[in-house]
Structure 1
Amino acid sequence: MDKKEFIKKMKEMLQKRLGEDYSVAEHSQVKNNKNLLSGLVIQRTGTDLGMVIYLDKFFEEYQKGNTLDEIAAALYKKIGEAEIPEELSGDYLKELVRSYEAAKPMIFCKLVNEKANRELLQGVPYFPFLDLAVIFYIMVAETNSEQMAITIDNKIMELWGIDSQQLYQDTIYHMKTNVPQQLQNLNDIVEGFMDEEEKKIFQEIIKKEKENCETTEELYCLQNSSKFGATSLLYGDTMAKFAEQVQCDLLILPSSIFEVLLYPDNGSRDYEELQDMVQTINQVEVSREDQLSNSIYKYDRMTRKISIVYQGEDI
């Protein structure tokens, strides 16, 4: 069974489980980095409330041996857990789209790769940043692990009657206040997922690495608590303080749209080697939709500006 047949079968099985209170329709959409996702739109009958479930990962589970019944049961549970509150009526959503003041407290931004998203950027307000672009969305609701968001496009901007500069300034101010930067040692994050015995082994490995290495610099994870934490690059207060603390510039490794890694630059870094590492991790560990860039950036401690220090290949 190929993916097309799988989606059709899931549509039939879910429609049977959900009954006449819902309609189920096939749906596909080009997401970040031209990544085409396929799935289903689940909509409550008689309302304009609905949700989209992408089935690409579920199809992979089917290929690995999960049965259709198992997958349909998991999807049915997912729909129940992510039920959209009825107070999010069509009138409420229309008000957000029509009124900038109503939407402003819920507007956030996202960093995407500029070259990989040229078609998307033609229809939305954006700001170039390095080899990236800043785009904007309204976070409408969060239900358990699911989130409902509206991408701000040029049509919405016309209704609001504002320019991109105001949108950017207001959004960054809002995010600085509500989703401040978070900086953590990467080793501490890794340890957070370990039991006590695993921590002891990990700490011993790190200790030996430091003994065998001339430098003691470590990787640090920079993010914020928004859906797309790599946007913490756009307000650099934490980077400025950290650069002063370590008394050197910072290399920035764009690990994904969710966070970036900071590496104190002591002047002996092999930029090409670091770029190869970032590109390999993107290819092996990060899904295409979540990739940010293959380039290496640098935060200059004196000028407090970020630049591309080593240009990577297109993603």
Structure 2
Amino acid sequence: MGKQRETYQAFCEIIVNRIEEQFAQDAIVQVNTVVKNNEVVYDALNIIVEGEKISPNFYLQQYYESYKTGDSIEEIVVAIAEAYYRSLEEREKINFNLDFASCKERIVFRLVSFSRNKRIASKVPYLPFMDMMVTFHIVMQQTKEELGSVRITREIAKKWNVDTEQLFELARQNTPRLFPVKICTMYAMMTEMMEENVNEWEGFSITPNLTEAKQEPYVVTNTMGINGAAVILYQNVLEKIADRLKGDYYILPSSIHEVLAIPMQQDLSQEELAQMVWEVNATCVPKEEILSGSVYCYDSKAHKIELCFNEQEICG
């Protein structure tokens, strides 16, 4: 029998104590509650060092999962300490000044669920979009692998003396520049994943069915693959997809990171598509990354997106 793992609460207490020992008298170590997208609550460990403007969040639930699968307390403490010191190095390159002049070219929008973020909606400026909402964020750090941002609250917007429409106009210009659109077939996306993970995909191949090529779904996201569902708000993107698909199409919200564009077919009803989305959300998508359970339609002649099957109809 292996050594019994500590409970989550005991694990958190041990990690806090060990991090305090690691940093001795140089820092205050505390745990704060952080509300993420879809109001998923995390316990964030912060290391507060005198003279530093900001502390990274170390989400204890995530470290607990790695602990349960075999990582030792010592390995986790070392990982947190190393990540903290790396953040210090990165911080030197980042401007954490939150005045409007410093931030206005880094204001971007995201597309999130409205029904799953009602508490957040009461604290932030937003614009409704179908049964979703557009929220605004400041990009603080952007590398090929990582993205750091700050959500714009009503308090920040008031301090800046800007309204929601002004935020949207800035984000409409900045978001496509910082996060260019990426549209590709499902086959191309799978091929790219295979090329990036050759060892994991060894012996596996995908052969496109050329007779169904015109019906193949398109993956719509951004080049970073993070919060990419918002690209459907970019100017002319929906029209370009209609050109590729030669007409009207469905939009399925895969997650906050991407959507799928599927040509309208007689053999797939809106109810069946909604059921597919519901099942994927329930089994494959982390709660924090669910965008919607609805199905949307794009009318290529009217140049208009519509809600064609509301997730409430399938959820009751």
Do the two structures share a fold, i.e. TM-score over 0.5? yes
Could you tell me how far 1:140 is from its partner in structure 2? 1.6
Could you tell me how far 1:144 is from its partner in structure 2? 7.4
Contact 1:43 1:51 in 2 (8 A): no
Could you tell me how far 1:256 is from its partner in structure 2? 0.9
Alpha-carbon distance in 1 for matches of 2:242, 2:183: 12
Alpha-carbon distance in 1 for matches of 2:184, 2:40: 30
Alpha-carbon distance in 1 for matches of 2:32, 2:78: 20
Aligned twin of 2:17:
12
Contact 1:82 1:143 in 2 (8 A): no
Contact 1:180 1:225 in 2 (8 A): yes
Aligned twin of 1:188:
188
Aligned twin of 1:140:
140
Q: 1:45 to 1:297 in 2, by over 3 A?
A: same
Aligned twin of 1:282:
281
Q: Which moved more, 1:151-160 or 1:223-232?
A: 223-232
Which of 30, 47, 51 aligns to 2:35? It is 30
**Structure 1 counterpart SS, 2:51:** coil
Contact 1:82 1:144 in 2 (8 A): no
Q: Which moved more, 1:193-202 or 1:268-277?
A: 193-202
Residue 215 of structure 2 aligns to which amino acid in structure 1? E
Could you tell me how far 1:55 is from its partner in structure 2? 1.6
Q: For 1:224-244, what per-residue CA distance to the aligned partner results, in whole angstroms no more than 9, with x for missing partners?
A: 246411110112523212212
Aligned twin of 2:228:
229
Aligned twin of 1:78:
83
Could you tell me how far 1:294 is from its partner in structure 2? 0.7
Percent identity among equivalent residues?
27
Alpha-carbon distance in 2 for matches of 1:133, 1:126: 6
1:224-303 to 2 correspondence within 5 Å?
A: 224-225=222-223, 227-303=226-302
Alpha-carbon distance in 1 for matches of 2:39, 2:32: 16
**Structure 2 counterpart SS, 1:303:** coil
Contact 1:82 1:146 in 2 (8 A): no
**Structure 1 counterpart SS, 2:125:** coil
Could you tell me how far 1:100 is from its partner in structure 2? 2.4
RMSD: 2.6
Structure 2 unmatched runs, 5+:
1-5
Q: For 1:27-60, what per-residue CA distance to the aligned partner results, in whole angstroms no more than 9, with x for missing partners?
A: 2222111211112012222333311111212111
Aligned twin of 1:120:
120
Q: 1:179 to 1:143 in 2, by over 3 A?
A: closer
Alpha-carbon distance in 2 for matches of 1:23, 1:241: 52
TM-score, length-scaled by structure 2? 0.87
**Structure 1 counterpart SS, 2:23:** helix
Aligned twin of 1:217:
215
Alpha-carbon distance in 2 for matches of 1:199, 1:300: 41
Could you tell me how far 1:269 is from its partner in structure 2? 2.4
Could you tell me how far 1:252 is from its partner in structure 2? 0.7
Could you tell me how far 1:198 is from its partner in structure 2? 5.2
**Structure 1 counterpart SS, 2:168:** helix
Contact 2:294 2:311 in 1 (8 A): yes
Q: 1:78 to 1:248 in 2, by over 3 A?
A: same
Contact 1:20 1:45 in 2 (8 A): no
Contact 1:183 1:238 in 2 (8 A): no
Contact 1:298 1:309 in 2 (8 A): yes
Aligned twin of 1:203:
206
Aligned twin of 2:45:
40
Contact 2:105 2:170 in 1 (8 A): no
**Structure 2 counterpart SS, 1:51:** coil
**Structure 1 counterpart SS, 2:206:** helix
Q: 1:146 to 1:100 in 2, by over 3 A?
A: same
Alpha-carbon distance in 1 for matches of 2:276, 2:311: 11
